[in-house]
Amino acid sequence: MSVLTTTLLLQHADASQTGKPTPRAGQHGTANLRKGTNVRNSARELHAAARTLADRATMPGTSWAVDPRTRQVLVTADRTVVGKRWDRLEAVVGSLGAGMARIQKSAGEFKTFAAGGDAIFGGGARCSLGFNVTTEDGSPGFLTAGHCAVAAQAWSEEAEGTPIGTVQAATFPGDGDFGLVTYDDAATDAPSVVDTGDGRTTQIVRAADATVGLEVSRMGSTTGLQDGVVTGLDATVNYPEGTVTGLIQTDVCAEPGDSGGPLFTVDEGGAGNAVGLTSGGSGDCTAGGETFFQPVSTALSAVGAEIGDGAGNNGSSSDGAPNRD
């Protein structure tokens, strides 16, 4: 039985096609715009600034997230934001006041894309599962990205294969990017583990919230295990399909096929904490980029599920795959 892991990332025409590295803050002359020293913006002011951006700067290819460490709003524009759209974004950021926000430019393009390796298939899309969960009625299921779940109602382990799960809830775009799929066979043994490759697994024992600066790992069927840090919270991303709010922003790289994949941490004792589900981003794992994640805790609350087997005993199999005896 193959391992079910999640991955569905935003496809992006990115720096890998040009051989140029992803630009970092300051490379375009505007990336550090509005950066101030000794910034003391309050949480209320930061959220008010985010609301202003939502009202006046919502356009495909833009995102913003609150960085509580610098007490600023980090605004990112992908490569499609040029000309009058770029001028509009700069003007809105400037209107927020000195030190309230800063802009960075991404060489990639914010998109969602379904592909993957250890995959699930549905409606011509290919994704991967994020975390196995127990639903409110005690049935086994899994979380994945919402843009996977809205692509098809039934999901299989193989292309055009027999369905193993059915979508029960999906949010995308809007207030998140998450979906709940329940296994069609209620006897499915769905261990609470992440397959990290080379026959290794990490047992996931709980859900945890992200904090800026948190070191995290992401597993994806295209690029495997990748590490990075959280760079922003409560991010708003304007995809071509629509606006998604409440995401986690990171510098973890990702590529097409990584969407829906699990974002997690591992404590000193080796136990894993579920943090997020890959939503989308720009760049690649050669040049770097930004990737956004759906907070797991929010998804669990919305769909009424919990990590693991629901009894505090998260069993696992040798390969992390669900067992159907």
177 a catalytic residue: yes
116 and 257 in contact (C-beta within 8 Å)? yes
Query: Which of 308, 322, 313 lies closest to 133 in space, CA to CA?
Result: 308
> Which of 147, 234, 279, 282 is flagged as catalytic?
147
Kindly report the three-state secondary structure assignment for every residue of the chain.
Answer: CCCCCCCCCCCCCCHHHCCCCCCCCCCCCCCCCCCCCCCCCCHHHHHHHHHHHHHHCCCCCEEEEEECCCCEEEEEECCCCCHHHHHHHHHHHHHCCCCCEEEEECCCCCECCCCCCCCEEECCEEECCCEEEECCCCCEEEEECHHHHCCCCEEECCCCCCEEEEEEEEECCECCCEEEEEECCCCCECCCEEEEECCEEEEEEEECCCCCCCEEEEEECCCEEEEEEEEEEEEEEEECCEEEEEEEEECCCCCCCCCCCEEEEECCCCCEEEEEEEEEEEEECCCEEEEEEEEHHHHHHHHCCEECCCCCCCCCCCCCCCECC
259 a catalytic residue: yes
> Which of 106, 221, 259, 282 is flagged as catalytic?
259
Q: What backbone phi and psi angles, to 5 degrees, belong to 84?
A: -65, -30
What is the rounded CA–CA span in Å between residue 174 and residue 177? 8
> Which of 67, 78, 177, 309 is flagged as catalytic?
177
141 and 190 in contact (C-beta within 8 Å)? yes
Catalytic residues: 147, 177, 259
